[in-house]
Copies of this chain bind each other. A is one copy, B any other.
Amino acid sequence: MQLYQDPKAVNPRRVRVFLAEKGVSVPLVDVDVLKGEHMQPPLSDLNPMHRVPVLVLDDGTVIAESMAICRYFEVLHPEPCLFGAGALEQAVIEMWNRRIERRLLDPVSQCFRHGHPAMAALEPRQIKEWSVLSKDRAADMLAMLDAEMAARPCIAGAAFSVADITALCAVDFLRAARLELTDAHANLKRWHGEISARPSAAA
């Protein structure tokens, strides 16, 4: 089993942190996206979507998409439980994981990919106006999320979950959109300090 990943990219980090929380070790194969290695074999053969991370099983089966890879390991290594137990807990974690993805991680990525000169080669064409709008959306979500986090210790409730991993990676990626947590985000800062102190955050 091998995990094709870029040590500098945000989505592979989600999987690395998830594996560290599970105590699972998977051999990594580095792919330098900035050098375009995701557009060349072997990755272009493994994933026609040209994205990392990609997990390749010993029989050659390919699993792409960060959350698909994480769910694979959640079933094989159920403890600690990171996608929740029971219908309601699973649904609430899924809801928050997706809200963080779609309202924070995606806009930060879009701001970066459509705004930074180094990303020009990775997009068919950069749209500066989309970069600016995406930054606004990420900033709005930070404000909303900070208000939410006044009421609970973790993103999806009382317990640490995959939603905290997505949020940790998104917050640590804010600089790509020239955003950061400020004094206006006291609740998020408290949460971020706690999550960053976990050993998995270094993965």
Q: List the number of copies, as a whole number.
A: 2
Contact of A65 with B127 in the complex, beta carbons under 8 Å? no
Contact of B98 with A68 in the complex, beta carbons under 8 Å? yes
Measured CB to CB, the closest approach of chain B to A200, in angstroms, equals 21
Binding site for B on A (CB under 8 A): 48-49, 57, 61, 63-65, 67-69, 71-73, 75-76, 86-88, 90-92, 94-95, 98-99, 103, 124-125, 127, 129-130, 133, 136, 144
Q: Closest residue of chain B to A85, judged by CB?
A: B75
Q: List 13 A-B contacts (CB under 8 A).
A: A49-B103, A63-B88, A64-B99, A65-B98, A68-B94, A68-B98, A69-B91, A72-B87, A73-B87, A75-B86, A75-B87, A127-B127, A129-B130
Q: Which residues of B contact A124 (CB under 8 A)?
A: 133, 136
